[in-house]
Structure 1
């Protein structure tokens, strides 16, 4: 298909942020002393990856039969932002891929993330990707509902003036892939390790392992 726009997720696609954020989250959940459900780093990774902290913390608290301290979210955001500012790195090969697609598609690329706008912009600025997406950043926090609902991808496509069916979505999680598919876009899964099991059962058209290969896969 001749795609007219490429819509990138952010966390795990443009930046390697999920291990950092989940580490901070795991530590703060340990500090709360919750024990109803076994709390392991693996459980936190599985439960939160691809989801918004805002949306799932209430469900997590309910599962634990507990409530969040009033200042918990503010403290989490402060620790998260500090860790990202100190440690965040770009996904290997993403700079060349973004520049090539931006050039070939005459700027018709966007970042459509479930994260809050401050986090998205902090991360893109931190790794030098913000100029490629400035003015074309969309946050699930600003939508009626975030991923796996399609709103953030529909908003990005509408802003670019491209029908969702002519958009390619790049995702690293099943939740994000479901959002892109629900929007009517074609979805490719980025999976740097393993065999794309995260996308099993979903009509993801292609799974690839190296972001540096994306321009050739799409344009070659």
Structure 2
């Protein structure tokens, strides 16, 4: 009988210790800058104590673990999910219409434009370069009534590539265009187009991001 009592008491102590341990666990949510959700979950999983949990959604991960482990996780994320970076955006505003001659300034992107649109010809109308901190906004006049505005929403590293998500609006004669695009750093992408009012042509925004 005494043995049964001692065994029951031991089990009770262990259960109480487990409950106390659970009460000591802390919940914290981390915002990701560089890592994807899945990359961060893989990185943080070994630091989650028994009784804790780990979840993620979009650019956030939530961890329930001990305060000591939370401190370790914060250090790991600070190392591998660094602070916002500087991004340089190179813009070209292209006018599409019935141009008979080809513009040499667009030689590198004309095949891309012709693959997406069906205009007779293209010519470079405006150029602009802006430098923005990740998470920051920009506003840049590009001549006359034409202006570019937007935000570098997020930079994600995937392998050796940086992917830059940018939201952009173009105000040009005839109206305005708004778009959001994710581009690979160092590569050119067509952001979007805006019709030239009642004319048959359009304004097209081409962008190439760089990460510094």
The reply to whether TM is greater than 0.5 is: no
| TM-score, length basis structure 1 | 0.31
More strand by share: 2
| TM-score, length basis structure 2 | 0.31
Q: Which has the higher contact order (CA 8 A, sep 6+)?
A: 1
More helix by share: 1
Pair member with larger Rg: 2
